[in-house]
Amino acid sequence: MKTLITFLTTALIMLFINPAYVQAQQTLNSKPIVAQYFGIWVEKGQTWEQKFRIDTPFAKLNRLYIAFGKIIKVAGDHFSIEFDGDNRHAQAIIDRMRAVNPTAEIFISLGGDGSSNQFGGAAKDQKFAENVLNFLAKYGLNGLDIDWEIDLDKANLNLLVTRLYTSLHNAGYKLTLATWPSPLHAYDMQVLKDNLDQINIMSYGKAISLKNCAEQYIKKGFPANKLIGGIETEIPYYQFGGTDSLGPTGTIAQKTKYALTHGLAGMMSWRLDNDYPQENDLRYPTYKGAHALWEMMMLSG
């Protein structure tokens, strides 16, 4: 009876506190995740309208990560989050998504390092999770993505994800973590596997094999069905062999095929707002990578 009551209580919380959770779940439960990151800044010499356009393919995804959020100090020496950029840009993205792709999930991707005024401090703050929840509810978001890449600390990362995951899940929200191509010592898989919905492997570039990345994480104990592979569609990109390639034999196709045939949760791309820009005008994305990823994941699946 206690188990039944707990189950029913959780279900009611998810339904009434975060109604968007139910609709998004119905879509995602039957399809692989196809995620895109979208930055709310503009490049030098670029206007917002050059990358946030009527033809931006917000319908060709089922999860969007708004990049970035940042950690801030608030009253009482506590920590909270806010958009790291123009709030109007973030709100425009949310409004467009809800209009053209209402069943898709929208996350905020939270950047930062391990210092005491960023993730290192927020991990120890017992009110941080509550403040994150308030932010997600304010903007009608579905979850939080942790993009902690520098000065990682195992103890603080464990504390951060366990507190956030418990609070977010109790209210019907999700939690993901962006990770390096190979598992770092700071990644405690026994903790992460039970306190994250998925991880986003930054398997960016033509020289990075998603197969090799995924197998390392699986060997360390992280389940395949909670892994999301990554592709790089940004130009210019000079690391790891450069931008992932298009075409039936390109690395986007290779990584997508591996994800679909080996039970991964899905694929994600960095980043939609700088996706294969025109050769003669790098301020103007063509979105070729986003279209290719969606077609491969949906039609091949």
Q: Which domains does the chain have, with CATH numbers?
A: 2-300 (3.20.20.80)
For residues 72, 78, 79 and 85, what is the CA-based torsion angle, rounded to 10 degrees?
-30
Question: Is 57 buried (19+), middle (13-18) or exposed (0-12) by CB count in 10 A?
Answer: middle
Specify the 3-state DSSP secondary structure of 79.
strand
Model pTM?
0.90
Residue 134's pLDDT is 98
CA distance linking residue 208 with residue 180, whole number of Å: 11
Residue 18: the pLDDT is: 53
CA distance from start to end of the chain: 40
Could you tell me which residues come within 8 angstroms of residue 65 by beta carbon, excluding any fewer than 6 positions away? 35, 36, 37, 38, 107, 108, 109, 145, 268
The predicted pLDDT at position 14 comes to 43
- Mean pLDDT, 10 residues at a time, over the chain (301 residues)? 41 45 50 97 96 98 98 97 98 98 98 98 98 98 98 98 98 98 98 98 98 98 98 96 98 98 98 95 96 91 48
Q: Return d(Cα 44, Cα 229) in angstroms, integer.
A: 30
Quick one: which H or E segment has residue 291? Answer: helix 288-300
pLDDT at 131 (0 to 100): 98
Length of the chain: 301
In this prediction, residue 144 carries a pLDDT of: 99
